[in-house]
A and B are shown apart, each in its own frame.
Chain A
Amino acid sequence: MEHIVIIGNGISGVTLARHVRKLSDKKITIVSAETDYFFSRTALMYVYMGHMKFEHTQPYENWFWEKNRIDLKKGYVNTIDTDNKTLHFAEGNTMTYDKLVIATGSKPNKFGWPGQDLKGVQGLYSKQDLDNMQQTAPDNKTCKHAVIVGGGLIGIEMAEMLNSRDIPVTFLVRETSFWNGVLPEGESQMINRHIKNHHIDLRLNTNLKEIKSDENGNVKSIIIEETGEEITCNLVGLTAGVSPNISFLKDSKIETKRGVLVNRYLETNIKDVYAIGDCAEQHEAIGNRRPIEAVWYTGRMMGETLAQTICGNKLQYKPGHWFNSAKFLDIEYQTYGWVFSEHGRPEHEKHFHWKHEDDTKCITVAYNKDTKTFLGINTFGIRMRHETFDTWLTEQRDVDYVINNLKEANFDPEFYKHFEQDILKAYNKQLQTV
C-alpha cells in the first residue's frame, strides 16, 4: 500500500489527507511537532480572549483520525533524505514514504532587531505562541504594557486579544496608515480611527529600533527608531508578516527559494515530493496572486487539488476568483476579485468608494476605467455573498450592473438596515461630478 506522508497538520495538510482518504485506500500519515491534533490557527486569538477553549479550535473530534485511518505522528523532522525516501526525526527515529507532502506553513518574520529573541518577545502563529502569551500576559498586573510591531492582520488580532484583558497596547506601524499596502486609503484610514476608538495607541510611520532586556533576559522596553522614545513593556508582539517555515529543508535536495519551489502541479524538483499551503512558492505567480500565498483558503484549495493528483487524476492548481476575509476588531472585512491599494494599482483600475457616516461601514468597488468591467470589491461592516460576486466576476459584469444589483449580494442578517440606495445615490452623484 502506498504510504503518503504529510509534514504539517494545518489546514493544507489535513484537507489533503481527508481528500486522499475519500479518493483512495492509501496509507496516510500526518507528522506534526506542534500539536497532537489539527486545530484552526485562525481561532487561537479566541482562546486567549476566553470565547473558546483550545479544544474548541479542533474541527474534528479526536476519534475522527483513527476512524478514517489517518495516522498522526508527533515529531519534528530534522532532515529529509529524498534518495532513500526517508524522514529523520529530531527524536532519532526515521520514517519512510512513497509520496511526501511538505505542508509546514509559516513562521513569524524577524528582521534582525536587537533583542528580538528575548523572553516576552513573540509572534502569534503557533499553539506555542498562544501558550507563551498566556504566560507573559495573563492579566494587566503581570503585563502592564504591550507593544506590537507590524501593522497587518496578525498585529491587529494581537491588539484585540490584549485589549480583551485590559492590557494597554502600543501598536507600531511602519506604514503611513494601517495595512495600506493592501487596503485603499479610505478604508485604511477608517480602520486607523477604529483602532484608536478601542483605546489602542496606534503609532503610524513608526519603526522599532531595538528591544531592551532586564537583568533576567525578559523584555523591559523598546526604543522607537524615529524619536528614540523608550516604551516600557512586558510583551513585544512581532507581527511583521510571516515567511515559509522550511529551514529544515536546507540540507535536502529539494529546491527552495523563500518557500519550497513548486510547479503548477504543486510538485517540487524531486519526484514524489510536493509542497502545499503557506510554505509553497510558485515559480511564477498565478494571475495577480503572489507566488507565496499565506492564506487559509489557498492552503485548503491546494490540499483539495493535490489530493486529485496523488490519487491519479493529475491536476494543476488553478484557483478561481480571488477572495479573502478578516476582522479588524469589530469590523468585518471581505474581498472578492481584486481591489488594489495606492501601491501597485494598475493604471486602468478606478475605484468607487462609499463610507457610512457611522465610520464602521464602507465599500470600495474597483473597475476598469476604459471598459467599465467590474474588477473587485472590498466590503467593511456589510456582509456580501461569495457566490454572487464569483458569478459576476465570471460573467465580467460592468460596474453599473454591480452597483445597481448590490442588494442581491447582501448577506447581512435579517432585519439589518440596507445601504444599497445610499450607495447607488453616491455612485450616481460621483458619475455626475466626474
Chain B
Amino acid sequence: MNVLEYVADRWDRLSLQALLHVSAVVQCTVLAAVIGVATGVAVYRSPVGSALATALASTILTIPSFALLALLIPVFGLGADTTVVALVLYALLPIVRNTIVGLAGVDPAVSDAARGIGMSRFGVLTRVELRLAWPAILAGMRVATQMLMGIAVIAAYAKGPGLGSEVFSGLANAGSANSLNQALTGTIGVVILALLLDGIYVLVNRITVSRGVRG
C-alpha cells in the first residue's frame, strides 16, 4: 500500500486529525495573540518592561518542547489542556516581541498629534498605535502559527489532538506494514496545512492592513 492509497483508505480519520490540528494551532495562536498584545501594550512604554517581557518569552522558547510537555503533564494531565498551554507559551515570543517593536516604531509625532487633537489615551492606542503596529503583530502571529504547526505534532506525546498521533504511531511501530505511510502522512499533512494557513495570512494581511501603511 503506498501513501496515496493509505490516505484514501483512512481519509475519514486523517481529515478529522488534520482539522483538529489546524483548529488547535489557530485557537492557540489567537489566544496567544490576545495575551501577547496585552503584554506588549502593558510594557512597551517602559524599556525595562519591554526587555523583561522579551527575555521571559525567549526563555520559554528555549525549553525543548518534550521537556516543556514533561513539566506540564503533572500539572494539567494528558490531553488538550497541556497541548493548549504549551502551544500558547511557545507562540508568545514572536507575538510579544513584534507587538513591542511595532508599537515602539510608531512615529512619536503621530501619537503626539493624536493626543493633541483630542483623542483619549485609549483612542490613541486602539485607533492609531495598534493599527500602525498591526502589520508587525500579524507578522508575529504568522511566525507563531508556522512554529506551532510543527510543535503541535510533538504535543501528540501528551495525547493532544492532531496529526502528531500519526507520526508517533508510525515511530512506535517502526518496521511494520504502514509505519512509513503513517509518518509520511503526518509530516506531509502538516506541511500542506502550514502552507495553506500561510496563504490565509497573506489574505488577512491584504484585508486588514490599510493601503496607507502596506509595504
Partners in one complex: no
B contact residues vs A (CB 8 Å cutoff): none
